[in-house]
Structure 1
Amino acid sequence: MALQATRIPELNHTVTNHTVPEEKSCIDPDLWDALTGSQPIYMGVITVLGVVLNALVLLVFCLHKKACTVAEIYLSNLAAADLLLSCCLPFWAVNIAQGFNWPFGAAMCKTVNAGIKMNVYSSIYFLVLVSMDRYVALVHPMSHGRMRRPKYAKLGVLLVWAFGLLLSAPTLVFRVVKHFPEYDVHACVLDFPSRGVMLMCDIMLIVFSFVIPIAVISFCTVKIIQVLSKRSIERFNAEKSEQKATTLVLAVLVAFLICWVPFHVVTVLDVLIKAGAMGGCHLEAAVDICSQIFDYLAFFNSIVNPILYVIVGKNFRKKAREVCRQWPRGGTAVASSRSNNSATLRTFT
């Protein structure tokens, strides 16, 4: 029998403590098998689309002859984070297809899961940065305009990646390949030294990847909408470039919230169950099933953003067309243009 995990291991921060979670009698076995059985195929599709689409986004931002704006610096790094997630998913697709028998060794168990956890943290904080940038650009354009400079944006990006790596430290420490004789598998699981450490890591995930960033994003978004509504009433429009960038950012924010908020809500319920504040077989079964579905939804966000760039981002489409036109000129022309403008250095830290 395949290893029964209460959450998808690649995203779950509490797959198991020291033992494999017992099979829930309240869960319909056919439904559970259908959910877990479809994971490898779904991850394979997300991997292909995520790698291709996010790589194309990065190519457009990197190869364009003009330097990236502050908002584009943040969005390009968001694409890099989604690309990281997409590259890590195949390992878990293979793992699940083999009945949760991890074939890649202990080092990859830690590295792959740390990369996925970095996406969880980094993605939301790149959106925090881009929300703050839109807030400053529209709400305080004169008093804080100097803050919106590429050098500050690159510093912010560097701090986000470092912060994401720091918060992924528990994954690097506690992820191990452990043998479960009753299932005859060597599973890549989180093996916490105590229940207290497990709950502390759970709470850290909720606070730093959900509560704090969502509060900041919500504040900035409300202020931005208020300013845009007021200007619309007064028939006073901001610069078209700022409006276009703000529309794209708001679309990305909405997509992120739709894809990730359900995941974090289920995570909160999961923590409450483990802490003993809530309980019951049917509640735990419902949380387990919902977590499977909402993890799928969270994965899907990695391919939504590139699609939004094309549909909503007029400036991005313009840049993509210009890159396509300059590409046939040959590698020399492109390299010369990139050397003169240092586009890559302006985009990535």
Structure 2
Amino acid sequence: MESTTLEVPFLLANQSEGCVAPHAAVENTLFGVFYILLFFLALNGNALALWIFSHQRGAASPANVFMLHLAVADLCYVIILPLRAAYHLTGGHWPFGEVPCRAAGFLFYVNMYASLYFLACVAGDRYLAVVHAVRSLKVRRARSAHVASLLLWALVTVSMAPLLLSPQTAEVDGVTVCRQLYREKASSRALVSLAVAFAPPFLFTLTCYLLIIGSLRRGSRLDPALKTKALRTIGLVALIYVVCFLPYHLSRAAFILFYERFASGCASRRALSLANRLTSALTCLNGALDPLVYLFGAEKFRGTVRRMFCRGEAGVSAATSGELKGTHESSLSAKSEF
């Protein structure tokens, strides 16, 4: 997973080429407002999830362990969304200095690829719980899930570490820019890294969920209501991939292939740049959508949230002591917690 940059502000990126986007100020304002709203949604949803998962009593399921780490990944990136909003609201100027610029790019990619791999782990755990319910009981342990999660954290962090080691700010036309938000890296090596980083978790998740759907259709001991919940969860994860991750990687591939070689003229370059900005923003949306995965995918999380909203603050302690209390999943409960 090679370190890359995020997006190209139209105004600055095209000034040197004589291509100034006619609606750059409006676009930057819309992006800034979007990141502010996303900050509050993702912060509240993932902070609640982290609190619930970390206060579980008894043995947690492997899926809940992966979801806990997914919430941590989202929160790590949520904290720098205000900086990204400020960047857009100031017209593409980076006033925060070198270290925050490096952190912005580093956390963006750590969050995105950690999320991809943790969602893949959830898919793998669900596949074992449904298709190989009995044989997988010895494998599906919370401790094993924590070990796998730590290894994934190490892999993603080391892969993105170069972003923290090289200078990332520069002066362009008298304005300080953050290279992580200024210009894409258009190289064949970046394209290979893009495919290696995205394709494995995407294909693995897709395969697991197709096998689960096939198993449910062939017949399962799950009752119809639980089957419906399972299919809804699968659909939600597929939606996150299709909306948040797939467009960005397709857009980046197009940018790398065509921006320097084939995109002649302002219109085509602005189109590639706008696609990159939009899809980059969409990747951040996964921080707000992941709590929905917890809601559909974790019975204890769903029960706690239901009690909190139905009973108010008086029901929080009851939810914590009751709904979060449990032991190892049985074969049937493992299937039901999607």
TM-score range, shorter chain: 0.7 to 0.9
Q: Does 1:101 align with 2:117?
A: no
Aligned twin of 1:268: 253
Give the aligned partner of residue 270 of structure 2.
285
What is the one-letter code of the residue matched to 1:98? T
Question: Shift in Å at residue 296 of structure 1?
Answer: 2.6
- The 3 A distance-change label for structure 1 pair 80 and 160 is same
**How do residues 305-324 of structure 1 correspond to structure 2 at under 5 angstroms?**
305-310=290-295, 314-321=299-306
* Offset, 1:164: 1.5
SS in 2 for 1:38: helix
**Aligned counterparts of 1:240 and 1:68: Cα–Cα separation in 2:** 25
Q: CA deviation at 1:148?
A: 0.9
Compute the displacement of 1:274 (Å). 4.6
String of CA shifts for 1:201-233, please: whole Å, max 9, x gaps.
44313321x2121111111111111111111xx
One-letter amino acid matched to 1:224 = I
1:186 aligned counterpart, secondary structure: strand
Structure 2: which amino acid aligns with 1:217?
T
Instruction: Provide the TM-score with structure 2 as the length reference.
Output: 0.79
Asked whether the 8 Å contact 2:14–2:20 carries over to 1, the reply is: no
Tell me whether 1:134 sits opposite 2:126 in the alignment.
yes
- Over 3 Å counting, the alpha-carbon distance change for 1:218 and 1:312 in structure 2 is closer
Tell me, in whole angstroms, the C-alpha distance in 2 between the residues paired with 1:47 and 1:166. Answer: 26
1:80 aligns with 2:56: no
**Aligned sequence identity (%):** 23
Kindly tell me: are residues 74 and 241 of structure 1, through their superposed partners in 2, closer, same or farther at Cα, counting changes over 3 Å?
Answer: farther
In the alignment, the residues of structure 1 paired with residue 26 and residue 4 of structure 2 have an alpha-carbon distance, to the nearest angstrom, of 19
1:88 Cα offset (Å): 1.3
- Does the C-alpha gap of structure 1 residues 115 and 265 become closer, same or farther in structure 2, counting only changes over 3 Å? same
* Structure 1: gaps (5+ residues): 1-10, 342-349
Q: Does 1:237 align with 2:211?
A: no
- Give me the TM-score of the superposition, normalised by structure 1: 0.76
1:175, distance to aligned residue in structure 2 (A): 4.7
Question: Using a 3 Å threshold, how does the CA distance of structure 1 residues 240 and 172 change in structure 2: closer, same or farther?
Answer: farther
Shift of 1:238: 3.3
1:308 shift after superposition = 4.7
Deviations 1:254-301 (A, max 9, x none): 23112221111101101112563x433343332222222222322222
Describe the superposition over 1:75-109 as per-residue Cα deviations: whole angstroms up to 9, x where unpaired.
12212212222111111212222233322221222
CA contact (8 A) 2:127 2:211 kept: yes
Q: Deviations over 1:162-220 (max 9, x none)?
A: 1111221232234522122x2x21211159xxx78x54244313321x21211111111
Q: Deviation of residue 26 (structure 1)?
A: 7.0
Partner of 1:215: 203
Relative to 1, partners in 2 of residues 1:271 and 1:174: Cα closer, same or farther, differing over 3 Å? farther
Residue 205 of structure 1, aligned match among 190, 194, 199? 194
Question: Pairwise CA RMSD of aligned residues?
Answer: 3.6
- Number of aligned pairs? 313
TM-superposed CA distance for 1:243, in Å, is 5.1
Q: Distance in 1 between matches of 2:211 and 2:66?
A: 20
Alpha-carbon distance in structure 1 between the residues aligned to 2:153 and 2:298: 25
Match of 1:3 in 2: none
1:58–1:76 Cα contact (<8 Å) kept? yes
Q: Distance in 2 between matches of 1:230 and 1:135?
A: 15
Aligned AA (2:106): A
Task: Tell me, in whole angstroms, the C-alpha distance in 2 between the residues paired with 1:304 and 1:330.
Answer: 23
Q: Which deviates the most, 256-265 or 310-319?
A: 310-319
Q: Residue 29 of structure 1: which of 10, 22, 26 is its match? A: 22
Q: Is the 8 A contact 2:255 2:272 kept in 1?
A: yes
Unmatched runs of 5 consecutive residues or more in structure 2: 328-338
Q: Is residue 157 of structure 2 the alignment partner of residue 157 of structure 1?
A: no
Displacement after TM superposition at 1:50 (Å): 0.9
Q: 2:177 pairs with 159, 169, 187, which one?
A: 187
In the alignment, the residues of structure 2 paired with residue 211 and residue 155 of structure 1 have an alpha-carbon distance, to the nearest angstrom, of 23
1: distance between equivalents of 2:297 and 2:112? 24
Contact 1:46 1:300 in 2 (8 A): yes
Question: Does the C-alpha gap of structure 1 residues 116 and 230 become closer, same or farther in structure 2, counting only changes over 3 Å?
Answer: same
